[in-house]
Amino acid sequence: MAKEDYYDLLGISRDASGDELKKAYRKLAVKYHPDKNQGDKEAEEMFKKISEAYDVLKDPDKRAAYDRYGHSAFEGGMGGMGGAQVDPFDIFREVFGGSGSIFDELFGGASSRGGSRASSGSDLRYDLEISLEEAAKGVEKEIRYRRLVVCPDCGGSGASPGSSVMTCPDCGGSGYVTSQRGFMTFRQVCPRCGGSGKTIEKPCPTCGGEGRTMETNRLKLRIPAGVDTGSRLRSQGKGEAGVHGGPPGDLYVIIHVEEHDVFERSGDSLFCEIPIKFTVATLGGTIDVPTLFGKGSLKIPAGTQSGTVFRMRGQGMPNLRSQARGDQLIRVVIEVPKKLSGDQREKLKDFAEACGDESNPVAESFFEKAKRFFE
C-alpha cells in the first residue's frame, strides 16, 4: 500500500508556512486523539499518520528531503535521515503541552511541566444565611469551615521528616509509563507516583504521604450592603490547598437572605403593608412607618382609599454595585373597628345620617358601572 502524501494527510499546500502546518496538525490531532475515539482503529491510525507527517514537515531538513525524494527519503536508512518511527503522544505533548492526554488540553486539567504533576486545589462552597437588616447595612461575619491545607509537618512533600523523596522506580522520574495495546504505544500517568515522578521513602505520619491535612479554618468576611439571595462572594485562595505545590482553590460564599416578617424584597425595592384607621384615611394624618433604617413617618392625605400604595424614596435596599438606595413601597389597608362603645356607635350613626345618600367617589363610579345588576 502506497503511503499517503504528508501534505494531503494534513490538508495543507506544499508551500504552507510553519504556522499553517502547526494549526492543521492541532486540529486533526484533537479530532483523532485516541482518548476521544476509544477503540476506533481508524482514528488511531490517522492519529499516528498525521503525527508522523507533522514530525517530518516541521523539521526544515526533513521537509526538504521529503519534498525532493518523498517517502523514500526515510526508508531503509536511505538518505540517512533516520526512521520516521515517532511516538505520536510525544508530538502531541510537544505541541499542546501537558501530559499527552487530550483531557488536559480540552478540559484544562493539571498543568504538567517536567513530570511534576502539580494541580490546583478544589474550590469550596459555603452557604451563609443573613438577615434582611444585615443585607441592607452590610455586615462582618466570621465563618468556620473544613478544608485541606498544606501539611505543616512535611511542608506538602508527603515525606516523613528526615526521610527523603526518591525518584520513582516505575517510571524513572518521568511520571509516565507506556503500555502496548495492539500496535499503539499508550502513555499513561504512572500509577505508582501519580505522575509526580517521585516516591516517598517513608510517608509523613501526619498526612499519610498526601501532603495535605484537614483543618478547620476561620475566616472573617465582609458582606457588602445590598447582597441578595444567590449573591456569590469569592475569597481567592481560601479553598483547598493544591497538590505538589499547585495553587490553592477559592472559597465561594453563597448568600441566603432570610425572610423578613415585615418587609418583602424585590431587587432594590422593599414592600410592606400597613393598617391605618378609617378615620385617618378619611380625615388625613401622619402615621409612623417602619423602615430598615429606623422609624419613618408617612403623610396620609384625606380621602385615602384602602390599597393605596405610597412610595418612600431612598428607603429601600442599597444597590450592591452603586450603593444607591431603592424605594420602600407602602400599601395601606383601612381597618374597620370591630367593637364600638355606645357613644362611638351613636356618633357614627349621626355621621351616617348626615351623609344621607351622598356617596363616596369610588362607590359612585362602581354603582354607575354595576347599575344594570340592580334594575
Give residues in contact with Zn ion (CB under 5 A): 151, 153-154, 168, 170-171, 190, 192-193, 204, 206-207
- Say how far apart CA 218 and CA 261 lie, in whole Å: 31
Q: Cα(223)–Cα(221) distance, rounded to whole angstroms?
A: 6
Closer residue to Zn ion (CB): 213 or 291:
213
In angstroms, the CA 324 to CA 327 distance is 10
Smallest distance from Zn ion to CB 209, Å = 7
3-state DSSP of 54-90: HHHHCCHHHHHHHHHHHHHHHCCCHHHCCCCCCCHHH
DSSP H stretches of helix in the chain: 6-10, 18-32, 41-57, 60-69, 88-96, 102-107, 132-137, 278-283, 342-355, 361-374
Asked if 223 contacts 139 with a C-beta cutoff of 8 angstroms, the reply is: yes
Q: What single DSSP character describes residue 196?
A: S
Residue placing its CB nearer to Zn ion in the complex, 191 or 307: 191
What is the rounded distance in angstroms from the CA atom of residue 138 to the CA atom of residue 193?
48
Nearer to Zn ion, 208 or 301 (CB): 208
Question: Is the CB of 190 or the CB of 253 nearer to Zn ion?
Answer: 190
Query: Are the C-beta atoms of residues 213 and 206 closer than 8 Å to each other?
Result: yes
Minimum distance from CB of 212 to Zn ion (Å)?
8
Task: Give the shortest CB-177-to-Zn ion separation in angstroms.
Answer: 7
Length of the chain in terms of residues written = 375
For Zn ion, which is the closer residue by CB, 193 or 223?
Answer: 193
Classify 173 as helix, strand or coil: coil
Q: How far is the CB of 112 from Zn ion (least distance, A)?
A: 13
Q: How far is the CB of 197 from Zn ion (least distance, A)?
A: 6
We find the least distance from the C-beta atom of residue 144 to Zn ion, in angstroms, to be 23
Q: Give the integer Cα–Cα distance in Å for 72 and 151.
A: 58
Tell the smallest beta-carbon distance from residue 109 to Zn ion (Å): 18
Angstrom distance (rounded) from CA 65 to CA 71: 9
- Closer to Zn ion by Cβ: residue 68 or 192: 192
Closer CB to Zn ion, 171 or 223, in the complex: 171
Q: Which residues contact 337 (CB under 8 A, 6 or more apart)?
A: 277, 278, 344
DSSP, residue by residue, 303-371: TPPTT-EEEETT-SPBPTTT--B--EEEEEEEEPPS---HHHHHHHHHHHHHHTT---HHHHHHHHHHH
Please, which residue, 29 or 151, has the CB nearer to Zn ion?
Answer: 151
Pick between residue 113 and residue 313 the one whose CB is nearest to Zn ion: 113
Give the shortest CB-156-to-Zn ion separation in angstroms. 7
* Minimum distance of Zn ion from residue 96's CB (angstroms): 22
Nearest distance from residue 153's CB to Zn ion, in Å?
Answer: 5
Q: Are 160 and 285 in contact (CB under 8 A)?
A: no
Considering the complex, state which of residue 68 and residue 202 has its C-beta at the smaller distance from Zn ion: 202
Of 114, 143, 139, give the one whose Cα is nearest residue 218.
143
